[in-house]
Amino acid sequence: MKIPIELINYLKKTTHIAVLTGAGISAESGLKTFRDAQDGHWAKYRPEDLATPEAFTRDPKLVWDWYAMRRNKVTEATPNAGHFALVELESLIPNFTLITQNVDGYHRQAGSKNVLELHGNIQKVKCYDGCGVVESWNTGDTPPHCPKCNAYLRPDVVWFGESLPLDTITAAHKAALEAQAFFSIGTSGLVEPAASLAHTARQNGAIVIEINLDPTPLTPHVDFALHGKSGEILPQLVKELIK
Ligand code: OAD
């Protein structure tokens, strides 16, 4: 893929960049994207039916086991060239914010610093009763109990029907408002409020760049649509930038 020279020239003068990533950036690590079919025992469930407070209330063990399986996949795999290219991009840009919908924690693991995890982190658990306890994954009972109030512990992720952490979404909006360039990478752009960040950035003067295998609902509104694998396009883009 040839990266347009106008894009490289623009980025070379840019001081504020915001990046939004979705499951597609971790696909080349071997993790399934959110809307891919599940395999094995889990094929009969839709993620949308497991990632809810109602599902956890109904069958805590089922939901805990599903997250344990997903967490194992995350710990067995590693960040890929796309994650590492974003670490390098951060080092080149004075104000760089990486907003992710992914719960795998790979951006921080790769070395990115200014990361906003909109949907939480699958490596952590928190008290289901909201008594404030957050800790790393506990492999005891399924699910284990809160050490403070004895309620169930649950994955520290945002479920369907739950609000996003206010400080995180506020910081993401600020980054989108201030951005001179906004990247939407490996996301189908279907879920709010992440989906509208690109439009916020654009309305405030940013150019919008999409990196995705396929066109998405955002594609007609972007300045540059780069179709292909993020693990290939991002390293190439960074290489061109430092040339
Ligand atoms: P999706 O599974 O909806 O979309 C993944 C996107 O990545 C698709 O548009 C693919 O075309 C693209 N893609 C796949 N492989 C790629 C690659 N190697 N390089 C570039 N692009 C690639 O995942 P998300 O958009 O992340 O929320 O889904 C967003 C949210 O929807 C999830 O965080 C989840 C769900 O509701 C919650 O759980 C709260």
Using CB atoms within 10 A of its CB, is residue 65 exposed (0-12), middle (13-18) or buried (19+)?
A: middle
Residue numbers of the domain that contains 38: 32-76+125-157
Whether 135 and 70 map to the same domain: the answer is yes
Closest of 229, 227, 205 to residue 216, by C-alpha: 227
Whether 180 and 233 map to the same domain: the answer is yes
Q: Report the DSSP beta bridge partners of residue 18.
A: 97, 182
Whether 85 and 139 map to the same domain: the answer is no
Closest of 12, 174, 201, 21 to residue 94, by C-alpha: 12
Whether 112 and 225 map to the same domain: the answer is yes
Amino acid at 95: N
What is the rounded distance in angstroms from the CA atom of residue 2 to the CA atom of residue 77? Answer: 29
Return the pLDDT at 114.
98
Return the pLDDT at 38.
81
Whether 138 and 41 map to the same domain: the answer is yes
- Give the residue numbers annotated as catalytic, written as ranges: 119
- How many domains in the chain? 2
What's 48's domain CATH number?
Answer: 3.30.1600.10
Whether 141 and 217 map to the same domain: the answer is no
Whether 187 and 72 map to the same domain: the answer is no
Q: Are the CB atoms for 106 and 26 separated by under 8 Å?
A: yes
CA of 140 from ligand 1 middle (Å) equals 31
> Is the beta carbon of 80 within 6 A of some atom in ligand 1?
no
In this prediction the pTM is 0.95
pLDDT in 10s for each residue of the chain, 243 residues: 789 999 999 999 999 999 999 999 999 999 988 778 788 888 899 888 899 999 999 999 999 999 999 999 999 999 999 999 999 999 999 999 999 999 999 999 999 999 999 999 999 999 999 888 888 887 777 899 998 899 999 999 999 999 999 999 999 999 999 999 999 999 998 888 888 999 999 999 999 999 999 999 999 999 999 999 999 999 999 999 999
Whether 65 and 170 map to the same domain: the answer is no
Boundary (domain end) residue, out of 137, 157, 177: 157
What letters, b where the CB count within 10 A reaches 16 and e where it falls short, cover 15-35?
A: ebbbbbbbbbbbbbbebebbe
CA of 187 from ligand 1 middle (Å) equals 4
Atom 6 of ligand 1, nearest CA residue: 187
Whether 130 and 234 map to the same domain: the answer is no
What's 193's domain CATH number?
Answer: 3.40.50.1220
